[in-house]
Structure 1
Amino acid sequence: MSEAKGHPPVFAIHLTSSATDGTRVLAVGAEGPLSADLTDEVAELCRTADDPGRAGAVQVLPRPLRTPARVVVVGVGAADPAGWRAAGAAAVRAARSDEKLQVVVPPQTSPEAVRALAEGAWLAGYRYRDAPDGPRSAEVDLITDDAGHAPALDRARALAQAVWWARDLTNAPASIKNPPWFADQVVAEAATRPGLTVTVRGPDELAAEGFGGILAVGGGSATPPRLVELSWRPDGATRHVVLVGKGVTFDTGGISIKPRESMKLMRKDMGGAAAVLGATFAAADLGLPVRITTLAPLAENAVSGSAFRPGDVITHYDGTTSESTNSDAEGRLVLADALGYAVARLDPDVVVDVATLTGANAVALGKGMAALYSHDDDLAAALTAAGDAAGERMWRLPLPEDYLEYLHSDIADRHSSPARGAASVVAALYLREFLGDRVDRWAHLDMSAPSWADASDGDLTKGATGWGVRTLVAWLGALGR
């Protein structure tokens, strides 16, 4: 085994656990590279440990003056993809920064298990790229005797890179992350992938075509808004999916200004746009046979003399109007334009929007779960299943018709931000009004809470999570089969 930076490597092996007739069975799951003595040491360590086979559980065996100098034993639980992903993440976290992690892949390990293991390791090892030459993740070597794992590793790499990209953009400070900068990042990233095309609309084009919601939200900023349209059109695709992501690069709340504590993390308010764009990049890397058009309305909601005001009436792309009495309910205004454009111009089979839309999402479901809204039972089930497989949970909430009265306005077609309750539900109902004849082929994911992690946990690192990339790629992959 090689060494990194003059330090002995750390060696990770996996442990499964199961119960048969009430007896705990522990099996050290690596052979070949490990000596019999080392296998015995690991077995003795685990014999006295508390549930060492639990997914993500870590046992560390120090071996001073020997090689390997440390052995990390990680549990994979039931050895399903979630367990392998947890094991990969746990192994990376157990390694010190100056250690090169070598992970033994046991014989007969399935490609799906290898993919999940690598995905967990790459995601947990993510580091925000605050310097161009900085390391992108912890260094990990997978040791396997099966060359057939290469496609699984390629898939894990494509997915991890897309999540990294989404995390990088979401973590980036608002001092550099304005709408023109964001659009430039998309153009540069798309240029590295054949088959992707990008159109960027600036303020003149937005005004000429009637994108009143995007222009209103971005009107108070010194950096004008953009609408990014990213297209993936593979040969033979029979389904056309439109993805829409909220891209508010910083949200002060506008004239309805936020309290200081509520504003500190508002650089993450473009997490939905980062997720749908990252998922599209991964779809192109993986060659998924689904046509995708991704819309990212980008604006900075700032305070100035040109900012839109509470009580203003805004005319959207589809010609309908919204009365806005709260300029801090800005995300739905930019999404409304993009959704109206998607229905009128793009002829989608399915529309899915992803947005850090409401704090009420966290009140209802906590930090770890997104809210899902859809009238399409099959679409809702497919997205939920994809989220479960990806480790990104969601819960379906209702769209009650009697709540439409909350959207009544005396001076416009609808009210964008009623003062009464059910904030996440009413926001979803507001968006629904722009779907036209696609209303039964639409889903909305309110993911404000899970878009950010307050601490590193599992395959999440502190900061932006890139929530939604993995779910969308899993769903698009199933849709293309």
Structure 2
Amino acid sequence: MLLLDIRFATARNASGAVAVVVPAGGDTTSASDDPSSAQLAAARFAAVRLSLGRLKLGPADLDDVTAFLADVEHSGSAGTMHKLPRPGRRPDRLLFIGVGAGEEADWRAAGAKLAKSASSEPTLMVVLPDDVTPAAVRGLGEGLWLASYRFRLGADDPPALRRIVLVPPSGAVAASADLAAGLALAKAVAESTVLARDLTNMPSDEKTPAWFAKRVEKAAAGVPGLTTTVRDPKALAEEGFNAILAVGGGSTRGPRLLELSWRPRGARRHVVLIGKGITFDTGGICVKPLSGMKLMRKDMAGAAAVIGATLAAAALRLPLRVTAIAPLAENALGADSFRPGDVVRHYGGTTSEIYNTDAEGRLVLGDAMAYAVRRLRPDAIIDLATLTGAQGVALGKRTAALYSHSDTLATSLAEAAATAGESMWRMPLHDDYADALDSDVADLVNSTDIGAGSLMAALYLREFTGGLRDQWAHLDMSSSAWADSADGELTKGATGWGVRTLLRWLEATA
């Protein structure tokens, strides 16, 4: 649940901390070859003075502000901020936040900076400039909500900042509905991203496959057009989801297959989103070292992302059918653990020889993808998975690997990611490497020794796309799912990566 209350209101009786937007633009030239700092500030921050006029500041106050901004050399770059204390006056603190060129991403950076810098303020008022757009409000809201996220299970002092008041442009009656719509979009995105972060951050002693499924059922309950289906181990066995059963066989906490469906009336397109849902990964019999196991509670971040995006699509009533599928299992060591050399028969009949039990994510995804192709017959399939360490080696912590044979699908996903403030890079799908997946005793082998780990995992998953090979995209987001430190709108821990990208893509597709 979002604790931060953000709403529109007037600037009447402004007190406490007030944030004022500073653009990077403005004419900084002067008739003089060496304009004084005061002249430079007066040109650059004319918009600031207009905004401050709504706070009923007098001429002397405005001159003080101009001199202050010139003295600190506020550039207006996105996310840069300076504070001006005003003891004994109203408001008693002015925060000047840069929004750069005014793009949505700039406003998102500004919102994130405000959320962190004003965290000790009980209330913050943000005076919006006259040229603010719904996209700007959406970016600001996303930055504020996402950067103020906290996850604590133990005793914790709640944050001081509980409410943010957005002051719309004066006389913007006609535009107010559009600005409110921008904030509503930001809230839907933030709520779904926060849910994905909560699910991913939850320690695995509580986060069993059954717990995850019940948590999603609770989130979807009562939402018109949303339905959930959960298959337990008995149903999985009856229907032939043998790879999910094999991966979850070593745990006393049995696997599940969760299906969340948003099916609005009149929808003509159907998209399936599939997310890897390994609630904890020991590596199985091919056990991971401690360094590789410590954060394996995040190995279900793909499942969290597709669930979050689908819930957001329902909240926004997007006219597009969306089905999220989350194969959920705990890859543990036990008497019934699957072994190297075993052969697993997937849903639909494809067989896989097990070379490495720590390459379990692609096995459960194979079952889910085969089911989606055969039973749901969608127009497109996108899968998200914390699949390989090789992704992080190639692209680092902030960029996911994108694989697709469709230029159109790949381009639209990359554009959605860029707009949403996430990052991905398209990687090659070399057919020459596919022979390395051949097995002497089965259709496929689930891992190889030839390197190119992220690529080989993508080629393996491709075998389950059937006739949708050219309408499928795979996102390997292992490193992007977790932040080692706060950065912009990200807080330390789970990032909720993929929710924002998928929702932007669904909006565009719808």
TM-score tier (shorter):
over 0.9
The equivalent residue for 1:142 is 166
Shift of 1:60: 1.6
Secondary structure class of the residue paired with 2:96: strand
1:288 to 308, 312, 318: 318
1:92, 1:138 within 8 Å by CA — same for their partners in 2? no
Q: Deviation of residue 313 (structure 1)?
A: 1.0
Separation of aligned partners in 1, 2:218 and 2:121: 33
1:5 aligns with none
SS of match in other structure, 2:359: coil
Query: Using the alignment, how far apart are the partners of 1:96 and 1:229 within structure 2?
Result: 38
Partners of 1:379 and 1:346 in 2: how far apart?
A: 19
**Gap change, CA 1:163 and 1:204, over 3 Å in 2:** same
Name 1:429's counterpart in structure 2: 459
C-alpha distance in 2 between matches for 1:201 and 1:161: 26
Q: 1:117 aligns with which of 137, 140, 145?
A: 140
- Give the Cα separation in 2 of the matches to 1:134 and 1:290: 42
Specify the alignment match of 1:190 in structure 2.
220
Quote how far apart the aligned CAs of 1:428 are.
Answer: 0.4
Q: Deviations over 1:213-235 (max 9, x none)?
A: 11111111111000001111111
Q: In the alignment, which of 97, 109, 120 is matched to residue 74 of structure 1?
A: 97
Residue pairs, 1:31-430, within 5 angstroms = 31=52, 32-33=54-55, 35-36=57-58, 37-50=60-73, 52-128=75-151, 130=153, 138-145=162-169, 146=172, 147-148=176-177, 149-430=179-460
Deviation at 1:19, TM superposition (A): 6.5
Q: Deviations over 1:345-404 (max 9, x none)?
A: 001000000111111111000101000000000000000000000001100000000010
Q: CA deviation at 1:468?
A: 0.4
Aligned partner letter, 1:476: L
Task: Name the CA shift for 1:39/1:22 in 2 (closer, same or farther; >3 Å).
Answer: closer
For 1:189, the aligned partner's letter is A
Partner of 2:3: none
Q: Which residue in 1 is equivalent to 2:21?
A: 14
1:366, 1:34 → 2: CA distance? 49
Q: Matched residues in 2 for 1:396 and 1:230: separation? A: 28
Kept in 1: contact 2:391–2:476 (CA 8 A): yes
**C-alpha distance 72-19 of structure 1, shift in aligned 2 (>3 A):** closer
Distance in 1 (CA, whole Å) between partners of 2:84 and 2:100 is 20
Measured against aligned partners, the alpha-carbon deviations of 1:136-164 in whole angstroms (never above 9, x if no partner) come to 98532212254322211111111110001
Distance 1:39 1:345 in 2: 66
Asked if structure 2 preserves the Cα contact closer than 8 Å seen for 1:372 and 1:444, the reply is: yes
**Residue in structure 2 matched with residue 467 of structure 1 by the alignment:** 497
Deviation at 1:267, TM superposition (A): 0.4
Contact 1:52 1:58 in 2 (8 A): no
Give the letter for the 2:201 counterpart: N
User: Comparing 369-378 with 144-153, which one deviates more in the overlay?
Assistant: 144-153
Shift of 1:436: 0.6
Moved more, 105-114 or 289-298: 105-114
Question: Does the 8 Å CA contact 2:241/2:346 hold for their aligned counterparts?
Answer: yes
Between structure 1 and structure 2, the one with the greater Rg is 2
Conserved? CA contact 1:332–1:431, under 8 Å: yes
SS of residue in 1 equivalent to 2:106: helix
Counterpart AA for 2:115: V
Select between 306-315 and 291-300 the one with higher mean Cα deviation: 306-315
Q: Distance in 2 between matches of 1:134 and 1:143?
A: 29
CA distance in 2, matches of 1:290, 1:81: 25
Could you tell me how far apart the structure 2 residues matched to 1:43 and 1:207 are?
Answer: 71
285-294 vs 39-48, which deviates more? 39-48
Instruction: Measure, in 2, the Cα distance between the counterparts of 1:35 and 1:340.
Output: 65
The answer to whether the Cα contact below 8 Å between 1:125 and 1:138 also exists between their aligned partners in 2 is no
Secondary structure of 1:18's aligned partner? coil
CA 34–243 in structure 1, closer or farther in 2 if over 3 Å, else same: farther
Question: In the superposition, relative to structure 1, how do residues 258 and 456 fare at CA in structure 2: closer, same or farther (>3 Å)?
Answer: same
Q: Secondary structure of 2:328's partner?
A: strand
- Return the offset for 1:62: 2.1
Instruction: Write the distance in 1 (CA, Å) between the matches of 2:474 and 2:64.
Output: 51
Q: Matches of 2:433 and 2:313 in 1, distance apart?
A: 37
Distance 1:131 1:241, change over 3 A: farther
Matched, 1:26 2:44: yes
Task: State, as a whole percentage, how many aligned pairs show the same letter.
Answer: 54
1:388–1:34 CA distance, 2 compared to 1 (3 A): farther
Q: CA offset at residue 317 of structure 1?
A: 0.4
- Preserved contact between residue 17 and residue 121 of structure 2 (Cα < 8 Å): no
Corresponding residue number in structure 1 for 2:36: none
**What's the CA shift for 1:74?**
1.1
State the shift of 1:195 in Å.
1.1
* Alpha-carbon distance, 1:270 to partner: 0.4
Query: TM (normalized to structure 1)?
Result: 0.95
Assess, with a 3 A threshold, how the Cα gap between structure 1 residues 98 and 113 changes in structure 2: closer, same or farther.
closer
Q: Secondary structure at the match of 2:299?
A: helix
Shift of 1:66: 3.1
Q: Does structure 2 retain, via aligned residues, the 8 Å contact 1:52–1:74?
A: no
Distance 1:266 1:253 in 2: 10
In the alignment, structure 2 segments of 5+ residues that lack a partner are 1-7, 10-14, 31-39
3-state DSSP of counterpart to 2:75 = coil
* RMSD of Structure 2 on Structure 1 (CA): 2.1
Cα deviation for residue 132 of structure 1 reads 11
Query: Is the partner of 2:285 in helix, strand or coil?
Result: coil
TM-score, normalised to structure 2's length?
Answer: 0.89
- Call closer, same or farther: CA 1:38–1:317 in 2, change over 3 Å: farther
CA contact (8 A) 1:435 1:442 kept: yes
**One-letter code of the match for 1:239?**
R
